[in-house]
Amino acid sequence: MAGRKTLANAPSEVPLLTQPKWLATIHRAGYIPLLETLFMDAGRELSESLELVVRTIESQCPGIRASILLMDPGGQELRDGAGARLPEFYRDAVDGLEIGPEVGSCGAAAYRAERVIVEDVLDDPKWEGFRELAERVGFRACWAQPIIGSDGRVLGTFAMYDDEPRRPDEDDLLVIEAAAHLARVVIERHLMREEQERSRALERKLLEGQKLESLGLMAGGIAHDFNNLLVGILGNADLALATVPETSECAEFLRTILTSAQRAADLAGQLLVYTGRARVRNETVELGGLVREMRSLLELSLPAGSEFHLDLDPEPAFVSGDATQLRQVVMNLILNAAEALEGSDGEVRLSIRTEWESPCAGKVAVHPGPTVVLEVVDTGCGMDEETRARIFDPFFTTKFTGRGLGLAAVQGIVWGHGGSIKVSSTPGEGTRFCVCLPSAEVESVPERGAEPVPTKGPVRGTVLVVDDEESVRDVARIGLERAGYRVLLAEDGIQAIDLFKRNRDAVRVVLLDMTMRRMAGPETARELHRMNPDLRIVLMSGYPEQESRGRCGDAGPCDTHDFPCGFLRKPFEIKDLVSAVERAAAT
């Protein structure tokens, strides 16, 4: 494009025979200054640039009116582009003109891709359906030149109208041809800018997607490493607590450590929730009942003076999922609404209903069938478009305090439950969050029974613990040895296989970490299972059980339904560790 600009700026130095035909025509017509103006002001709107072309032609051709029509993307109709001196009713009438071989001057020129000369519109058959319109405007002659793009496509038409019936002379033909070339330059520059803007928008969207994917991977990695560290903290504190009198001051300190470590584990869980990899318990939850149980807590979370309205459908709203995570969704949305009220009076309304058509539009499609809709609406400060676009980004917060994980966790939980979430907001008016979850069948409510009780007393035997974190291995060794087990330790899959080969007859249970530097868990599990199909393998991971089992299954064929036979979620307490081994050894 820069080369064209230079050529236009120095026409006298370039012989006409060596110029492109379109530029030579513009040069002969004397419109190089207009071309320079169009190039210099590249940011001008398309309609403004086209009007400039039309006005320039009209100013230099007394008694002539001009117009530009643009081809629509479908290539079948012409749309109004420019023509300020033509009456509004005429421009409205030709806007959307369907092209054809006998459809006026412009419709025929666009259809044939060649110039169409009509000396008298009142006599020419191409104007049969437009004569009354022409008489109202007051013109008799109409000459139309197709605007041909550099790729040969028809981009539109340039037309000149004379009040008297006549044939155009050579000067008229030169002007109309030059004007069509000028219009082509304007249109193609505009199309090029639009394409560049689309490319930039697509690039921004791709970069945003890559950023969120990277954040998700980072969050998952942090949660994994964090959980490994917490195993050491929780496990050692748990072990130490068993060695001191329950009423001692040291015991109180240890209990504080356990409580703090558990809160840290919850934070790691929020990171996994954002990535959509948090564990989801498959139970049927009546969402309305869950919210009723939380009502007092929700009201206490709102600023003094604010009003809380609960609007629950009389019919039960059953969903399938994890009650703890669903409580977190409700609480985080209410806390967000409370912050939006900024300590002032206002209203927060929470409603639950069941609909057949989901009102949500999110990244994850809602399951077909009835949808349970949970809405939280506040009359707070609202959000502008920029804030709303980032509201679910992890670590994004508009507050001076907080981690910015609340709404990111909400989105992760909703996606993890097969639902979607939609937010609408207006600055100064408030915000509406709409969560849509697949409705569950009432018959699927499981009967609540007693939790399984671990086998009384230790089941003696040898346990192989495989983990690349020394603190995890140490905690597991001490806890299991106190429970009466002999423990072998391996820091990766290769070492584990070597130890198993040397202790094949003794090892009954393997505790296997899923993520290790050398020979990760899935490959190790496959090889150990191949060596002894009766070996009891318990997976250890900070990631959800379903994902861990899936990875293990992907590692190779499994010919038994109970491979692997157990799962221990990190971080764990000693009692959970011992129970997992006892259950595996007893099966």
Give the separation between CA 293 and CA 327, rounded to whole angstroms: 10
Same domain, 415 and 368: yes
Domains in the chain: how many in total? 4
pLDDT of 535 reads: 92
pLDDT of 107 reads: 94
From 412, 444, 476, the end of a domain falls on 444
Beta bridge partners of 350: 310, 376
Give the separation between CA 91 and CA 70, rounded to whole angstroms: 12
Give the separation between CA 167 and CA 124, rounded to whole angstroms: 13
97 lies in a domain? yes
Query: In a 10 Å sphere around its CB, with 0-12 CB exposed, 13-18 middle and 19+ buried, how is residue 430 labelled?
Result: buried
Mean pLDDT by groups of 10 residues along the chain of 587 residues? 32 39 57 62 77 85 90 92 91 92 94 94 92 92 93 93 92 86 87 86 73 64 74 84 85 83 70 58 85 85 86 89 85 88 84 83 57 92 82 62 62 85 90 91 47 44 92 90 92 93 92 86 90 92 77 49 74 89 88
- Can the peptide bond before residue 15 be classed as cis, meaning omega within 30 degrees of 0? no
454 lies in a domain? no
CA atoms within 13 A on the CB side of 112: 15
Same domain, 289 and 375: yes
To 10 degrees, what angle do helices 323-341 and 287-300 make? 40
Same domain, 60 and 87: yes
Same domain, 93 and 23: yes
Beta bridge partners of 95: none
pLDDT of 7 reads: 30
Same domain, 290 and 341: yes
Same domain, 220 and 298: no
Give the separation between CA 247 and CA 265, rounded to whole angstroms: 26
pLDDT of 551 reads: 73
Same domain, 540 and 417: no
Q: What angle do CA 451, 457, 459 make, to 5 degrees?
A: 100
Give the separation between CA 347 and CA 377, rounded to whole angstroms: 8
Neighbours of 276 (CB within 10 A): 18
The reported pTM is 0.43
pLDDT of 364 reads: 44
CATH code assigned at 121: 3.30.450.40
Give the separation between CA 485 and CA 459, rounded to whole angstroms: 8
Same domain, 27 and 167: yes
> What range defines the domain where residue 156 resides?
2-196
* Backbone conformation region of residue 212, classed left if phi is above 0, alpha if psi is from -120 to 50, else beta: alpha
Residue 70's identity, in one-letter code, is L
